[in-house]
Amino acid sequence: MSDSSMSRGSPPTPSPATASAAPPRPTGRAAGPRGDGPRTGGAGQVAAAPAAGSGADDGLLASLAPLLTEWLPRQRWFAGKGRPISGFTLVSATELLPCTARDGAAGLLHLLVRAHQDPDEGAEGDTGDEADGDAGGDAGAGANADSGAGAGDGSVGRAGRATAGAERAERAALAKPSSASRARRRGATEPADCYQLLLGVLPPNPHGAGPPPANRAARAEPGPTAANADANADANGAGEPVEAREAAAPPRLAHALIGRPATGPLAGALLYEALADPRQAALLLERLRLPGTLGPLRFRRAPGATIEAGLTPRPLAAEQSNSSVVYGDAYILKVFRRIAPGINPDLEVALALTRTGCRRVPPPTAWFEAAGAGAPATLGLLQPYLADCADGWQYALDQLARGADFTAAAHALGQATAEVHLALARSLPTAEIGPPQIEHLTAAMSRRLDAAAGAVPALRPFRRALRGAYADLAALGDSGRAWPAQRIHGDLHLGQALRSTRDGRWSLIDFEGEPASPLAERRRPQPVVRDIAGMLRSFDYAAAVGGGGAHGGPESAAGPREPREWARRSRAAYCAGYAAACGHDPRAEPELLRAYETDKAVYEVLYEARHRPDWLPVPLSAIRRLAGPAARDTA
């Protein structure tokens, strides 16, 4: 999911766990180059492996590997679900706080690590065919439902082309340019995903069991805790059992524990997910407040921006592909987990829209990145937190529950979408898709339909009619038709829209696109109708969930006809609002809209069949509508 659907406007109930001490001034250093063996430097400097790709390892990574092998697959943002980890390569290691401090204070270690996995035909997300970036076949179904209904872990995602020049070389070192199935067809080894890790480090206690008395991180008030998913397993021989690890940590960090390395420069230290620790999360904000460079890490602040110090952090827990922390009610920091070289679209688009004066997207306040051989890789983005907003998914469900009309809100949301599209066309490169691109696009859509129908028998009776949607668009391409293409949102749905509770004004967030897709694909100009189709499908999901039909289907007794009418009216109002703002009604090109919406619904069928079979009637209802009343066949 794109995210996974981060809702910035619905702050969770504040946790009683707050930092009792002011965050420290930024300290630390980048890990030094590897010598002949593991070593530590002054003030607890941890030695790192050399540049990625050398094949060398050092004591740090060797000692962390067993713990990461156990811990990483349990994280919602880990993309390689279903495939075993075969090894790791350390890209960089940087201490943001000393990790072997003599006073026992908690350290903070920043890592970029490539996780190597063996391709697996049965792995999650391997559909047997890849989407092609401009086709719109991304993980929208899970994202729509994540906003309020809790989808699964998402899928590994799609393949893409390698980028040119330095970015191609850097992608080979950091990212995954193609999916497992495409790599298998080439007979190549699948490149490893690169992940950003922030590890809190509690040094061994020289006074006995439990956290050291001088550990300032342990003085925060205890808050809610949860057991690790594998509470009875040990750390693959890397240290003590999970129960012992939990007993030695502050209670509020029990759910965030990773384990104790048995060897290496951090031997005996207790490692945990640092964003769960208010003091460590506060340090990140301090780094952004006082920008600068630390080894490969660069902390940047927007010109003229000021950041208040001492704000209390609280992590958000409703995401999948990234992690976010809210600071007071002022800012939200998105920490990207799966890292690729180049500027992240979430930052790039927000900067571009800020330059145009578009107020529909929160402007960047600060960000941080990692230097590399090619373009710097975006690691995190700080933006204003829209505390007075509710996300569109929850607002739609509330309106459905009350039996209230949503058309005015949908019309306003269409206007907001059009305003953003117009601003993007002014500020970033545009293009045109003509006959060759349309042929490629419709062929990819047809392949995805065949693959999905092969996996989901319920889709097969509609296959011939759905192919007709793609054939109609292809015929227009053959006649010489062309369409404008530009930068778009890429993963638009109700959960990516925030509505102000004060004046009803809509804002759009999370322009990262589908995180599983290569960065070059997400930055490629595409028809705006891809965003529109995603939002139209989101209205259908909201009607199914809010109308009680999510598990029985819109035609069952659990799914009354009124929600379907709610969705129809909302869809029409959204398109009308879009047309009012930009002068172009997306319904005026039915072939293009139908093809994109069909492709989206086909993906949803496959997603629901794999992850939430009870939800399969929701996209199947759209399939029936898109195929037409007399469309059933046995093709």
pLDDT of residue 248: 59
pLDDT tens digits, 53-84: 333 346 899 999 999 999 999 999 998 888 89
Assigned token pair, 596: 């994109």
Residue 618's nearest CA partner among 545, 565, 561, 546 is: 545
- Please provide residue 512's backbone torsions phi and psi, each rounded to the nearest 5 degrees: -70, -25
77 touches 49 (CB < 8 A): no
Q: Distance (Å, rounded) from C-alpha 474 to C-alpha 90? A: 46
Contacts of 52 (CB under 8 A, 6+ apart): 89, 90, 91, 114, 173, 174
pLDDT mean values, one per 10 residues, the chain (635 residues): 37 30 45 32 34 50 96 92 92 94 87 88 40 36 36 28 33 35 46 93 68 35 32 37 51 90 94 96 96 96 94 85 95 96 96 96 98 90 96 95 94 98 97 96 97 97 96 96 97 97 96 88 96 97 80 39 88 98 96 97 96 94 87 43
Identify residue 162 by its one-letter amino acid code: A
pLDDT of residue 81: 83
pLDDT tens digits, 136-179: 333 333 333 333 333 333 322 222 222 233 333 333 333 333 33
pLDDT of residue 189: 53
Region of residue 498 (phi > 0: left; psi between -120 and 50: alpha; otherwise: beta): beta
Identify residue 208 by its one-letter amino acid code: G
Q: How many CA atoms lie within 13 A of 343 on its CB side?
A: 11
Assigned token pair, 430: 């545009």
Assigned token pair, 466: 């759905």
Q: How many CA atoms lie within 13 A of 231 on its CB side?
A: 9
Assigned token pair, 218: 């342990």
Q: Distance (Å, rounded) from C-alpha 159 to C-alpha 171? A: 13
- Chain centroid, CA 318 distance in Å: 11
- Please provide residue 366's backbone torsions phi and psi, each rounded to the nearest 5 degrees: -160, 165
pTM of the model: 0.77
Q: Distance (Å, rounded) from C-alpha 389 to C-alpha 385? A: 9
Assigned token pair, 61: 């990574």
Strand-pairing partners, residue 366, are 301, 382
Assigned token pair, 351: 């900067």
Q: Three-state DSSP class for 420?
A: helix
Strand-pairing partners, residue 590, are none
Query: Tell me, what DSSP letter sits at residue 468?
Result: H
Computed from CA positions of residues 556, 559, 560, 565, in that sequence, does the dihedral angle turn out positive or negative? negative
Which residue, chain included where needed, has tokens 């109700």?
Answer: 494
pLDDT of residue 514: 84
pLDDT of residue 484: 97
Strand-pairing partners, residue 30, are 94
pLDDT of residue 103: 77
Q: Distance (Å, rounded) from C-alpha 383 to C-alpha 471? A: 43
Cα Rg of the chain, angstroms: 25
* Cα-based distances in Å from 356 to 361, 366, 496, 580: 11, 18, 21, 20
Query: Tell me, what DSSP letter sits at residue 573?
Result: H
Q: Three-state DSSP class for 542?
A: helix
* Cα-based distances in Å from 279 to 24, 101, 272, 315: 8, 16, 13, 12
Assigned token pair, 377: 């890789």
Angle of helix 392-402 relative to helix 561-582, nearest 10 degrees, comes to: 130
* HEC string for 373-437: CCCCEEEEEEEECCCCEEEHHHHHHHHHHHCCCCHHHHHHHHHHHHHHHHHHHHHCCCEEECHHH
Strand-pairing partners, residue 40, are 46
Q: Distance (Å, rounded) from C-alpha 155 to C-alpha 125? A: 4
Contacts of 595 (CB under 8 A, 6+ apart): 442, 445, 469, 470, 472, 473
Contacts of 576 (CB under 8 A, 6+ apart): 411, 414, 585
- Torsion angle of C-alpha atoms 475, 479, 480, 483, degrees rounded to 10: -40
